Amino acid sequence: MSKDSNDKQSYLDNGIRVGAYHQEIMNGISKEQIEQTNNLSDAIDSTEELLLSLGYKLPDRTKSTPSQSVKLRPDVSASGWEEILAEAKKSTPEHVDFSLLLTEREISTVLKKHSSIGSELNWFSSLDRFDFALSIVTGIIAGIIDVLLVGIPAHPGFLGGQRSEGGWLSNLVKEKTGNLFPKDKVDELEKAYGVSFDPSTNSKLQEHVAGLGPRTHRFQSPGHDPLMGFIFGVRDILTGDFTAISKDGFLIMQQVADPFLQGEHLFIRILEALKIQFGHLASDVATPSGLPAPLMPLLMFLQFGKIGKNSYTIGEVARQIYRSGYDFRHFMASSLPVMITEIIIRLGYFIRSLQTGKSLSESVPSASSLKLKRQLLIAHSVATLINAGKVYVTQNPMAISWAQILVFLRYVMPEVAFLLYGKDAAISKMVEEEILKDYHRINNGIGVFLKTQADFVLVV
């Protein structure tokens, strides 16, 4: 047991010991009071009998009133904790527990109440049948949209498989993106927003990057990632570096140009670099190869697995997926079922909250709502399972919904962490709040009592 645990246990034992000591004192006072009351009653009865035998008429007790009111000013001395604890140790056993303070029935009641605290954190307590049903149905809808509308990217044949014309929604997004950025606009953007992280071959590089080529250089350059690009890409622009990931999973950084706006204020350099970064990504999004799906290049660090006839690693399969047409545009198409799931679940949460009597502000979906997060996790889990079935049936890794995987991980990882580490902490906090609430109730009761005792004096 740690020192902190020993200190807490010692503090608890001392509290039980002092409580038992004062309970013993109170029991003694109560017993003495009862004895004195009985003795006084006996004395009064004996006196009354004597007076009656002598011929005196006794006054009616119910109608008699004291001729003078007597007020007492009891003095209560308050000792220090160490002094009280020393006295308590003299009259209590060496080993103490709550059985010294409470009866078995009282202990059973406390344990029952304690076990009920935090019960709403359990899965089947936080969600009802309607919540489960809505989540499962929503996940099925998202999965069907992914299978029937999103499909897989158009490609000439992946890893020896048959060619595909692509899913309807995937092709539609690529078509609309091409209309937004026609070739002349792309050429204009490429000239205006050149960057240091754009080498497509190893011909002018000092350090060789394995696998780098015209059709994969954007996937192997984190600067071209729609998310990581605003970190790695901006850094490369400022320093004149080229950061790349080799096909065998190594991160390589090398300088290929002069630092950007050297001598200018750092804040101005960063703003200009962000502008160039955004412009360069816009110039690449509608090209034949397009931009990689966000965070997918990180899979190149996973240098294990044996996939397909050539026993490719996970990292190489991810690189080949991009090379065959799985780009940012297909990622946007596969994001539609994810967005539909989010909208349906959050709207259902809002409507259900209003129906249960919550106010408008209370019904707005909150990121901290355990119920909402679990509903979303169920829905995205169902959609992910359907997508896994789609990959299994087609035997084509390009059928993977990377957007669905990312959002599934976004909900499942915090839930696992909560169940392993956060749930006990949350229950402990709720128990502390319950104890504090009882302390306030006791303190308020004492305050009300003291207000009625005008002649009560506490001597410290």
Q: What is the pLDDT of residues 119-134, one digit of tens each?
A: 667 777 788 899 999 9
> For residues 201 and 214, is the Cβ–Cβ distance under 8 A?
yes
Which tokens hold the place of 166?
Answer: 């692509």
Which tokens hold the place of 31?
Answer: 């017993």
What does the domain layout of the chain look like in residue ranges?
Answer: 3-101, 127-167+346-460, 182-284+292-326
Distance linking the first and last C-alpha atoms of the chain: 38
Rounded mean pLDDT of 338-366? 92
Which has the closest alpha carbon to 301: 222, 410, 402?
222
* pLDDT, tens digit, 9 for 90 and up, residues 310-332: 889 999 999 999 999 999 999 99
Query: Alpha-carbon torsion 358, 362, 364, 370, what sign?
Result: negative
Cα angle value 373/417/362 (rounded, 5°): 30
CA–CA separation, 353 and 76 (whole Å): 54
* pLDDT, tens digit, 9 for 90 and up, residues 14-24: 777 887 777 77
Task: Say what the pLDDT of residue 338 is.
Answer: 97
Task: Say what the pLDDT of residue 64 is.
Answer: 47
Letter for the amino acid at 169? L
Q: How confident is the model at residue 157 (pLDDT cuts 50, 70, 90)?
A: confident
Bridge partners of residue 255, in order along the sequence: 241
**Residue 185 scores a pLDDT above 50:** yes
CA 339 to chain centre: 21
Task: Say what the pLDDT of residue 169 is.
Answer: 94
Provide the percentage of residues in the chain whose pLDDT is more than 70: 91
Provide the percentage of residues in the chain whose pLDDT is more than 90: 47
CA–CA separation, 283 and 354 (whole Å): 46
CA–CA separation, 143 and 376 (whole Å): 14
> For residues 375 and 345, is the Cβ–Cβ distance under 8 A?
yes
Strand, coil or helix: 393: helix
Q: What average pLDDT is seen over the chain? A: 86
Give the pairing of strands 241-245 and 251-255.
antiparallel
> For residues 81 and 5, is the Cβ–Cβ distance under 8 A?
no
Q: How many CA atoms lie within 13 A of 12 on its CB side?
A: 10
Q: How confident is the model at residue 395 (pLDDT cuts 50, 70, 90)?
A: confident
Task: Say what the pLDDT of residue 366 is.
Answer: 87
Rounded mean pLDDT of 426-438? 79
Which tokens hold the place of 370?
Answer: 């355990």
CA–CA separation, 429 and 192 (whole Å): 56
Of the candidate ranges 146-160, 211-225, 290-304, the one whose mean pLDDT is the lowest: 146-160
CA–CA separation, 168 and 426 (whole Å): 47
